[in-house]
Chains A and B, each alone.
Chain A
Amino acid sequence: MRRLLNTLYVTMPDAYLACDGENVVIRVKDETKFRVPVHNLESIICFGFAGASPKLMYLCSERGVALSFLTEYGKFMGRVTGGISGNVLLRRAQYRWADDPTVSARLARRFIAAKIMNSRALLHRLRRDHKETVDSLALDKAITWLAGTADRLEKAGNGDVIRGVEGEAAQVYFSNFNQLILSQKEEFYLFNRNRRPPTDRINALLSFLYTLLAHDVTSAIESVGLDPQVGFLHRERPGRPSLALDIMEELRPHFADRLAVTLINRKQISADGFVVKENGAVIMAEDTRKEVLTAWQKRKLEEITHPYLEEKISLGLVPYVQALLLARHIRGDIEDYPPFFWK
């Protein structure tokens, strides 16, 4: 299995990214602050606006290093993609499948089924570990209800019905989300899932983590030769990485939601680490952002046994493995796409 390489996070607002030989160089006011060989990197995530040289962009696209630009608050602005590479036959097959409503619906069901089961697993785990403190009755109800959607999902014939089931499941899941929060309950309370801009701390945190996950999934999809913009569940829209959003569905609970909950419950982040703007938007302060990035990066290094491959890999490779499995399925090497189920 491929090795997971490192990610470089550039959080200094006035940092400029340049290239020197095989090195990624970070300059601040013409002074070299940091350099690292490009072959040690999997991706670069840049917060802020100072810039990057076209030569560095070329180096990154040539070496398959994902380079994304986010605003300093973590809103996605853009990413660098090089010339189209990979297997054109595979991509054509992907487009044909995406045009076929039956095939699209089948894959969409896989993504959503895994998403619902993974979010259910999260609630389940909470009920088991904290029997005394949580509202077991409400949780039980939600858990049973979520399990019941599996049947409805299996019968769902088209994308709209699947999206409907997904929406209801998300509603039930997020309405129980506050139960997952065991400390700092007053400061961290989720009224409903919202974004653009997020209006409470949990939403700000979740949105930020989802952006990081989207970056990883998009680059994973590209590295296996699929087109991240053509999805099966999510409809195409210019600039939207629909396939990445598809694969993200099954990864959200375990990768992002769980990390958010852990950070709050362990008090690694606190309420004063967020800034409330006049328009009600809540954004993360710099220290909190760094704390979250560090936790995210550390989490990716954790080793797990992949449920389908039954092979030990680091958690950060899961997006790559899922993209690879999807590519194999589209290529006809495996019967069906096995989504990522995690207990």
Chain B
Amino acid sequence: MLVLITYDVSVTTDAGKRRLRRVAKQCVNYGQRVQNSVFECLVDPTQFAELKHRLEAIIDVETDSLRYYFLGNNWKNRIEHIGAKTAYDPEGVLMI
């Protein structure tokens, strides 16, 4: 399934900046960065539970927020992209 993850991490403090970097790093491990704080992760339920657990251990719920959007297995017709930074299709032919 494809999960879209977006986050807002408060960077007013150094601790906040550190959290932002750590959140981004976890997201990169599981998916592709489609915009600055937006990640598309193709994961199975176990992998998602793992990622969720990791992210929620990092953030500070008082100041930061995380949003998950579940696009399911038929995610391809739920996404439209305009403009620069086109994403790759993780289920399509990957040829570099």
Chain A interface (Cβ < 8 Å from any Cβ of B):
3, 6-12, 15, 20-23, 26, 33-37, 39-40, 290, 293-294, 297-298
B95 & A40 in contact (Cβ 8 Å cutoff): no
Chain B residues proximal to chain A, CB less than 8 Å? 25, 28-32, 41-44, 47, 88, 90-96
Q: When the two chains form the complex, which single residue of B29, B32, B94, B95 contacts A22, counting CB atoms closer than 8 Å?
A: B29
Of the A-B pairs whose beta carbons lie under 8 Å apart in the complex, a sample of 6, sorted by A's number, is A8-B95, A9-B93, A9-B96, A11-B96, A23-B29, A37-B32
A18 to chain B, nearest CB (A): 13
Q: How far is the CB of B12 from chain A (nearest CB, A)?
A: 27
B29 with A34: CB separation less than 8 A = no
Question: Please, how many angstroms separate the alpha-carbon atoms of A108 and B34 in the complex?
Answer: 50
List chain A residues, Cβ under 8 A from B28: 20-23, 35, 37
Whether A22 touches B96, Cβ cut-off 8 Å, given contacts A6-B90, A36-B90, is no
Interface-centre pick from A6, A15, A20 (highest chain B CB count, 10 A): A6
Instruction: Please report the C-alpha to C-alpha distance between residue A39 and residue B30 in the assembled complex, in whole angstroms.
Output: 8
- Besides A11-B96, A22-B30, A36-B32, 14 other A-B contacts (C-beta < 8 A): A6-B91, A6-B94, A8-B94, A8-B96, A9-B94, A15-B96, A23-B29, A34-B96, A36-B90, A37-B32, A37-B41, A293-B93, A293-B95, A294-B95
B contact residues around A10 at 8 Å (CB): 95-96
The answer on a CB contact under 8 Å between A21 and B29 is yes
A294–B95 CA distance with the chains assembled, in angstroms? 8
Which B residues touch A11, using CB under 8 A?
Answer: 95-96
Report the Cα distance A298→B91, complex, angstroms. Answer: 10
Given contacts A6-B90, A40-B42, A40-B90, contact A35 B32 (CB under 8 A): yes
- Nearest B residue to A293, CB-CB: B95
Kindly state the separation between the CA atoms of A3 and B44 in the bound complex, as whole angstroms. 10
A39 CA / B29 CA spacing, docked (Å): 9
Please name all residues of chain A whose beta carbon is closer than 8 Å to the beta carbon of B41 when the two chains form the complex.
37
Q: Point out the residue from B32, B42, B96 that lies within 8 Å of A33, measured CB to CB.
A: B96
Which of chain B's residues has its CB closest to A12's CB? B96
B25: chain A residues within 8 A (beta carbon): 21
The answer, among B91, B93, B96, for a CB contact under 8 Å with A294, is B93
Which partner residue on chain B sits nearest A10 by CB separation? B96
Chain A residues lying within 8 Å of B96, measured Cβ to Cβ, are 8-12, 15, 26, 33-34
B29 in contact with A37 (CB, 8 Å): yes
Given A21-B28, A37-B29, A39-B30, A290 and B95 touching (CB < 8 A)?
yes
Interfacial chain A residues near B42, Cβ < 8 Å? 37, 40
Q: Is the CB of A39 within 8 A of B47?
A: yes
Chain A residues within an 8 Å CB radius of B31:
37
CB neighbours (8 Å) of A297 from chain B are: 93, 95
CA distance in complex: A7, B28 (Å):
19
Q: Are B29 and A7 in contact (CB under 8 A)?
A: no
Measured in the bound complex, the distance between the Cα atoms of B29 and A15 in whole Å is: 21
Q: Are A36 and B94 in contact (CB under 8 A)?
A: yes
The answer to whether B93 and A34 have CB atoms under 8 Å apart is no
Across the interface, which residues of A come within 8 angstroms of B29, CB to CB?
21-23, 37
Which chain A residue lies CB-closest to B92? A6
A40 contacts across to B, CB distance below 8 A = 42, 90
B1 to chain A, nearest CB (A): 11
In the complex, what residue of chain A is closest to B30 when comparing beta carbons? A37
Closest to A11 in B: B95
A39 CA to B48 CA, complexed, in Å: 12
Q: In the docked arrangement, what's the CA distance between A26 and B96, Å?
A: 8
A321 to B45, CA, bound (A): 23
Which residues of chain B are within 8 angstroms of A15 by Cβ–Cβ distance?
Answer: 96
CA A53 to CA B25, docked complex, whole Å: 21
Cα distance A11–B94 when bound, in Å? 10
A30 to B93, CA, bound (A): 24
